[in-house]
Amino acid sequence: MAEEKKEEAAPLDYKALRLMNVAQLRHAAKTTPGMHGAESMDRERLLAEICKRRQIAVLDLSGDVDVMRSETKQRLRDLQSEREAAEAKGDSAALARIRAEVHKAKGKLRRAK
């Protein structure tokens, strides 16, 4: 006889769940004991239910985002003064480096929202 092995629920933490898309969350819900109706739930409800059923502590990550945003904004202000100094010297290599850093920092700000 062929034995059927049940797929064990993988140990997940809240941050890993937050990074999953809806399809991945629905798959995790199927492997979570006591979960029903996952197909009709939206992402936030799925996340909350999975955490509740697996007894995963829900973290408040909004403080991390606020800290990251303020640090990134400060870095942008510093880069602006560096850029002005590089323009005064005529240092094109430094300007290119600063331009790339500004681009990355602005991307971080957009993703943090």
Q: Tell me: the pLDDT tens digits for 66-76?
A: 667 888 889 99
Q: Is the pTM of this model over 0.85?
A: no
pLDDT score of 1 more than 60: no
**How far is it, in rounded angstroms, from Cα 103 to Cα 108?**
9
Amino acid at 70: S
> Which helix H or strand E contains 5, and what residues bound it?
none
The Cβ of residue 95 has, within 10 Å, a number of other Cβ atoms equal to: 15
Q: How confident is the model at residue 95 (pLDDT cuts 50, 70, 90)?
A: very high
Selection from 29, 23, 105, 31 nearest residue 69 by Cα: 105
- The secondary structure of 18-73, three-state, reads HCCCHHHHHHHHHCCCCCCCHHHCCHHHHHHHHHHHHCCCCCCCHHHHHHHHHHHH
The first and second tokens of residue 6, run together, are: 């049940």
| pLDDT tens sequence across 17-65 | 888 888 998 998 888 888 888 888 888 888 888 888 888 887 765 555 5
